[in-house]
């Protein structure tokens, strides 16, 4: 098909998630590709949504976010991460973190500005930088001593006179690394030295397994140059509600809001009121979810290892990267894309080939990404099918 997509977006095609989900459906595969739970979110939050609808909270929301929600976010972030944001002027509610990413780029990046990006990266980062006319500069995350990290010299050389921002994601999708205070300090020092902004995607902030989540905004001198992005969907297993937010000092928030007002204007009103209830009262649920994901992580990692993969056990997120050399060798396929297709169509398990999240595909072509935000039954069925590879 000859598409008529504009030049700025043509390189990105359809997302890998749509492609793998379709392949998974066509072949009735167990879908460990896209990162959404196959179980429902907490009952008290769903009840709060129904109550908000019945209470008539059904017209346009306050564009920057309903007051109870921005107040709940501000209180939670102050208590947990030690950073203070004024709810009315420094927090903007967006249609999932997915909207917060382009709103931040369009609102703060000028054409020709460079944005430093760690690869593998969340796929919408690159497209959002392109929409703003920005230029990506890449830094690799590579496996070292059982986890993924970056080389500090490579990071330093990714900065130039044109650097406007560095985009950080911790806990990191897809590698599962929770960046340490020391790693974040290295990034922060460069950002300060080069007078760059930091855009920090922290949607998995609650999904850590012992490692401490540190927001780079909490490091000395960083609040004033950082935009923190987060989301309600991953934390409360309600990804379809699409509630996210951007937090930044008022001067930066002004840019984000000037884009947000023309992208979506406002986010679903009743769902924001329910999200406020979740954030205020959700502590016990989040603790339960962490325990559940820890058990799923360990079970899936052990089984993948038994089958012949080499899983790199993640410190956070709900994804495992597994090195697949032994398995793909046995099957006579090469690279993650060919293996992901073969597993979906012939074994009946869908996973994501992470090289699609890279400028340099070779960084990730030796791995596959499995999502473990699934019921034990789904994970057991996936393992039962993958055992044919053993």
Ligand X SMILES: *Cc1c(COP(=O)(O)O)cnc(C)c1O
Write phi, then psi, for 349 (nearest 5 degrees).
Answer: -135, 125
The first and second tokens of residue 207, run together, are 């999904």
Q: Which is nearer to ligand X, 101 or 188 (CB)?
A: 101
User: Do residues 303 and 372 lie in contact, with contact meaning Cβ atoms separated by under 8 Å?
Assistant: no
How many helices (H) and strands (E) are present in the chain, helices listed first? Answer: 14, 14
**Three-state secondary structure call for residue 25:** helix
178: alpha, beta or left? (left if phi > 0; alpha if psi -120 to 50) = beta
Write phi, then psi, for 142 (nearest 5 degrees).
Answer: -125, 155
Among 33, 98, 177, 268, binds ligand X (CB under 6 A): 98
User: Does 278 interact with ligand X (rule: CB under 6 A)?
Assistant: no
Rounded CA separation 313/319 (Å):
9
Segment lying near ligand X (by CB under 6 A), choices 42-50, 65-73, 210-218, 238-246: 238-246
Among 37, 41, 107, 233, binds ligand X (CB under 6 A): 233
- In the bound complex, what is the minimum distance in angstroms from residue 318's beta carbon to ligand X? 9
Among 239, 269, 344, 378, binds ligand X (CB under 6 A): 239
Write phi, then psi, for 37 (nearest 5 degrees).
Answer: -65, 145
User: Does 201 interact with ligand X (rule: CB under 6 A)?
Assistant: yes
- In the bound complex, what is the minimum distance in angstroms from residue 368's beta carbon to ligand X? 17
Site mask for ligand X (CB under 6 A), range 213-232, x = bound: ------------------x-
User: Does 170 interact with ligand X (rule: CB under 6 A)?
Assistant: no
Q: Which is nearer to ligand X, 30 or 207 (CB)?
A: 207
Segment lying near ligand X (by CB under 6 A), choices 13-21, 92-100, 112-120, 284-292: 92-100
Secondary structure E strands in 232-306: 243-247
DSSP-derived secondary structure letter, 343: I
Residues forming contacts to ligand X in the complex (CB under 6 A) are 96-98, 122, 169, 173, 201, 203, 231, 233, 239, 242, 244
């Amino acid at each position: 098909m000859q598409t008529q997509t504009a030049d700025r977006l043509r390189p990105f095609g359809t997302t890998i998630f749509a492609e793998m989900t379709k392949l998974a459906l066509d072949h009735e595969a167990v879908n460990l590709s896209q990162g959404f739970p196959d179980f429902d979110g907490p009952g008290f939050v769903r009840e709060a949504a129904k109550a908000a609808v019945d209470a008539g909270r059904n017209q346009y929301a306050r564009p920057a976010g309903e007051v109870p929600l921005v107040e709940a976010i501000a209180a939670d972030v102050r208590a947990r991460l030690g950073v203070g944001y004024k709810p009315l002027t420094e927090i903007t509610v967006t249609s999932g973190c997915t909207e917060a990413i382009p709103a931040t780029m369009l609102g703060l990046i000028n054409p020709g500005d460079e944005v430093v990006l760690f690869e593998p990266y969340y796929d919408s980062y690159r497209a959002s930088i392109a929409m703003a006319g920005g230029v990506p500069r890449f830094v690799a995350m590579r496996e070292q001593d059982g986890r993924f990290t970056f080389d500090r010299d490579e990071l330093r050389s990714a900065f130039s006179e044109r650097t406007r921002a560095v985009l950080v994601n911790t806990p990191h999708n897809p590698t599962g690394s929770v960046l340490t205070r020391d790693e974040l300090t290295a990034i922060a020092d460069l950002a300060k030295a080069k007078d760059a902004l930091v855009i920090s995607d922290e949607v998995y902030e609650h999904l850590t397994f012992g490692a401490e989540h540190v927001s780079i905004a909490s490091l000395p001198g960083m609040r004033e140059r950082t935009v923190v992005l987060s989301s309600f969907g991953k934390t409360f297993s309600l990804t379809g509600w699409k509630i996210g937010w951007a937090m930044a000092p008022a001067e930066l928030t002004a840019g984000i809001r000037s884009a947000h007002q023309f992208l979506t204007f406002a986010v679903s009103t009743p769902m924001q009121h329910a999200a406020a209830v979740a954030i205020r009262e959700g502590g016990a649920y989040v603790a339960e979810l962490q325990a559940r994901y820890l058990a799923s992580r360990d079970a899936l990692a052990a089984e993948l290892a038994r089958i012949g993969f080499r899983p790199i056990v993640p410190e956070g997120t709900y994804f495992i990267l597994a090195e697949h050399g032994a398995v793909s060798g046995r099957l006579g396929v090469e690279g993650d894309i060919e293996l992901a297709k073969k597993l979906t169509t012939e074994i009946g398990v869908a996973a994501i080939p992470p090289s699609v999240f890279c400028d340099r595909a070779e960084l990730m072509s030796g791995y596959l990404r499995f999502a473990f935000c699934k019921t034990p039954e789904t994970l057991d069925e996936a393992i039962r099918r993958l055992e044919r590879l053993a």
